Amino acid sequence: MIMSVNYLEITDPTYRTSWKKRNQPGFVLVEPKQYWRIPIREPGWKPLPCCLTTRFKNMADEFRAMKVHKDDVWLASYPKSGTTWSQEMIWLICNNLDYEEARKKLLFMRFPFVEINGIADLPGGMDFFKLAQQMPSPRFIKTHLPVGLLPDQIWTVKPKLVYVYRTTKSVIVSYYHHSVTLSNYKGTLEEFTRSFMRDLQMYSPYHEHVIEYHKISQLDNVLLLNYEDMKKVSVKHSFQDLVSVVKRTCVFFNKSYTDEQIAELCNHLSFESMQNNPSVNAQEMVDMLLAQSDRLDERENEDRRFIRKGKVDGWKADLTQELADEIDDWTRSKVKSEKYQKLFL
Ligand code: A3P
């Protein structure tokens, strides 16, 4: 098999001296090669290396060569951007609102996270890459990989591809809590944020992740969703904007539902309903990981939930004003174009 990527060692001195202390996995930068099929036609554009765990080396080439089906549904995102929420919405829209099946079968089996075995050591030996490959059509596939590391056939077969994104400060805070909960991250929120701003958290760099998917969003088979749009609350109708996002998603998938059916779906997708839904809230996995790291006593801590706070400005409770301003300054310094800047601030 042809090597589809280069692996670059991380030279950042802070990372090198402190990753073990923070209980982080070993990272490597994965740089895509042969990206000419990606339909971003800007002179000089090339995908940036992506920060992943060294374990990704075991699957990078096989993944790039993965067979893609025309009727696949791919959902991509930077972690903590509303992926689970979008997965449940898309799966139900595409499966005739089959709530019974959605309750019976865990979301991560209906809509597998395709590269997870390439980034984490999973208990129980489940192989989600294999599961995704063997699923009956239409397959529903979640990925956090950037445009440059998607299977090559994405660009020739052109399945439907949805991308969801969320503002920077919310992503950082949510990602920090996620890392503490699921990976027993031992650093502080400030340390996490500083590594994030050096593009040294898994799937970073974040801005480019979002921008690259925006650059392919003119394609007919691509739909962009935004966490904040899904969350906006109207005075008249508490689900107003989730309603418009659901309707837009229905049009994208050529599906049509009555207003009552859409209202019922929005109810099902509300934060409270999802937080209490064992098919999507990953509580079993969280409990297992807390038990493994001898932290079951943290189970009652609200921040140790997978579906955690679900707020647009929840970061205000965690970030100091100084750190929040630093994050915004970082965005302004990295993203010069106003068109893209507004996606992040
Ligand atoms: P918080 O940690 O800020 O609460 P992902 O699925 O990409 O990992 O994203 C997780 C984030 O989406 C978490 O954010 C989670 O609470 C939020 N989320 C999940 N379901 C939601 C819903 N129905 N409404 C609002 N936010 C939701």
**Is residue 222 scored above 90 in pLDDT?**
yes
What was the pLDDT predicted at 3?
81
The pLDDT assigned to 233 comes to 61
Ligand 1 atom with the smallest distance to the CA of 273 is: 23
What is the spatial distance between Cα 70 and Cα 279, in angstroms, rounded to a whole number? 27
Ligand 1 atom, smallest distance to 86 CA: 6
Per-residue pLDDT at 66 exceeds 70: yes
Contact between residue 157 and residue 68 where contact means Cβ atoms under 8 Å apart: yes
What DSSP character marks residue 217? Answer: T
Beta bridge partners, 7, equal: 30
Say if residues 38 and 47 touch (Cβ distance below 8 Å): yes
pLDDT on residue 232: 86
Cβ-based neighbours of 227, under 8 Å, separated by 6 or more? 81, 82, 85, 164, 165, 166, 167, 170, 312
Atom index in ligand 1 nearest the CA of residue 164 equals: 7
List phi, psi (to 5°) of 75.
-125, 120
Average pLDDT value over all residues in the chain: 95
What is the pLDDT, as a whole number, of residue 221? Answer: 98
Backbone angles phi, psi at 62, to 5 degrees: -60, -40
- Model confidence over 226-253: pLDDT tens digits? 999 999 864 444 556 999 999 999 999 9
What residues pair up with 143 in beta bridges, in sequence order? 76
pTM: 0.96
CA–centroid distance, 140 to ligand 1, in Å, is 19
Query: Given this model, what pLDDT does residue 208 score?
Result: 98
Of 77, 72, 19, the residue nearest 195 (C-alpha): 19
- Ligand 1 centre distance from Cα of residue 271 (Å): 8
Of 97-111, 116-130, 158-172, the poorest mean pLDDT is in 116-130
Pocket perturbation via mutation, ligand 1, pick of 80, 107, 283 by most ligand atoms within 8 A of CB: 80
Residue 163 CA to ligand 1 center (angstroms) comes to 15
Indicate which residue's Cα is closest to atom 18 of ligand 1: 310
Distance CA 241, CA 13 (A): 45
Name 32's bridge partners: 5
Q: Which residue, among 10, 8, 29, has the nearest Cα to 19 in the 3D structure?
A: 10
Q: What are the boundaries of each domain within the chain? A: 5-308+317-341
Homologous superfamily of domain range 5-308+317-341: P-loop containing nucleotide triphosphate hydrolases (3.40.50.300)
Find tokens 């899904």 and name the residue.
230
Residue 96 Cα, ligand 1 centroid: separation in angstroms?
Answer: 24
Minimum CA distance residue for ligand 1 atom 2 = 174
Condensed to tens digits (0 to 9), the pLDDT of residues 14-42 reads 999 999 999 999 999 999 998 999 999 99
Please give the number of the atom of ligand 1 that sits closest to the Cα of 174. Answer: 2
Identify the residues whose C-beta falls under 6 Å from ligand 1. Answer: 77, 79-85, 170, 174, 177, 231, 269-271, 274, 307-310, 314
pLDDT in tens, 238-296: 556 999 999 999 999 999 999 999 999 999 999 999 999 999 999 999 999 999 999 99
pLDDT given at position 125: 82
Distance 38 CA to ligand 1 centre (A): 30
